[in-house]
Chain A
Amino acid sequence: MERTEWPLWEIFIRSQHGLAHKHVGSLHAPDAEMAIKNARDVYTRRNEGVSIWAVKSADITATAPSEKGPLFEPANSKIYRHPTFFPMPDEVKHI
């Protein structure tokens, strides 16, 4: 008999005060609807969130660890890209 495992899902949760969904972990579920339900039970037991996203892990395209050098290192030497050279006005939130 063929053994079929449920697909893996990546779970993102928006917290009470957060503006963006954050990755919290992964779980197995037979379909999208059950992935949301399982995420509710596995990751929001302690009132962590107000919204859940579930994405099939297989649908995520990721950078390869071996490309780390060419992709990210060139930015290291360009400190002028960081907004650290001027004072931040108090009114500006969420940065």
Chain B
Amino acid sequence: MSTDRQLFDYLLRLADSDLVLAQRLGEWVGHGPVLEEDIALTNVGLDLLGQARLWFAYAGEVEARFAGAGRSEDALAFLRNGGEFRNLLLVEQPNGNYADTIARQFYFDAWHRLLLAKLTHSRDARIVEIAAKAEKEVTYHVERSADWVIRLGDGTGESHVKMQAAIDDMWMYTGEMFDPDETDTALAEEGIGCDLRALAPAWREAVVSVLDEATLTVPSWTSMQRGGKNGVHTEHLGHMLATMQSLQRTYPGAQW
């Protein structure tokens, strides 16, 4: 039997991965390689931010059920420390060059779409509602990031080398996407969450097919980094949060 506390934690995982990746994509504003990419990439970031808000809002309501009061979207986003963040390690990795950004995005998008498709069959009506809205956006995200993997992989000699390096570098952060813990398992068993392990074959198939078309080699090693969902992060998250949260920390309660 899953508890509201587990559901809260589960919703934070969904929200935090969206939020952290949105913040990373936001760092590209004004720095995109061309104007069109700058707009397109930050559109994706805004989609993810919108999704994060929906998950946070629901998480706050669930928190109120067991804690007496639930935190607001802003409190959850801007007033938690790194150790309380539940996002995947993949999405907190720095932007690097454009190939790094695209590799991170593609791995995440391919997983995100599969996850959301499953969550549209959740027994929790709110999860279904949010997942259905997000799935449409993410279907476009993965098309776009896959297109770029193919164009850079099968592009010039230089773009191929950089894309392969990025695909290799990000690989070790993909394992935890399919690695359930007690919370995942409890929610999956009740039909609220989904079986993360079951997403792996479809994800791998999608990734292999795109990398093949991009003339890139699928990384073969299996040693993976994990810890995001338990709050154990890479050193990059803290720096990112320092920037992201500075305004709300300096002027608590500040509003637009």
List the interface of chain A (C-beta within 8 A of B): 6, 27-30, 33-34, 37-38, 40-42, 45
Contact = CB atoms under 8 A, between A and B. Distances in A.
A27 B36 contact: yes
Contact of A34 (B39, B43, B140, B147): B147
Interface residues of B, number: 12
B147 A37 contact: yes
24 contacts: A6-B34, A27-B35, A27-B36, A28-B34, A28-B35, A29-B36, A30-B151, A33-B147, A34-B151, A37-B40, A37-B144, A37-B147, A38-B36, A38-B37, A38-B39, A40-B140, A41-B36, A41-B39, A41-B40, A41-B43, A42-B36, A42-B39, A42-B40, A45-B43
Interface in B144-198: 144, 147, 151
Binding site of B, secondary structure by majority: helix, strand, loop or mixed?
helix
B49 to A, nearest CB: 14
Nearest to A27: B36
Given A28-B36, A41-B40, 4 more contacts: A6-B34, A28-B34, A37-B144, A45-B43
Nearest to B43: A41
A42 B41 CA distance: 11
A65 B144 CA distance: 39
Interface in B120-155: 140, 143-144, 147, 151
Residue among A30, A33, A41 having the largest count of chain B Cβ atoms under 10 Å: A41
The 6 closest A-B pairs by CB, nearest first: A41-B40, A38-B36, A41-B43, A27-B36, A41-B39, A42-B39
A12 B9 CA distance: 46
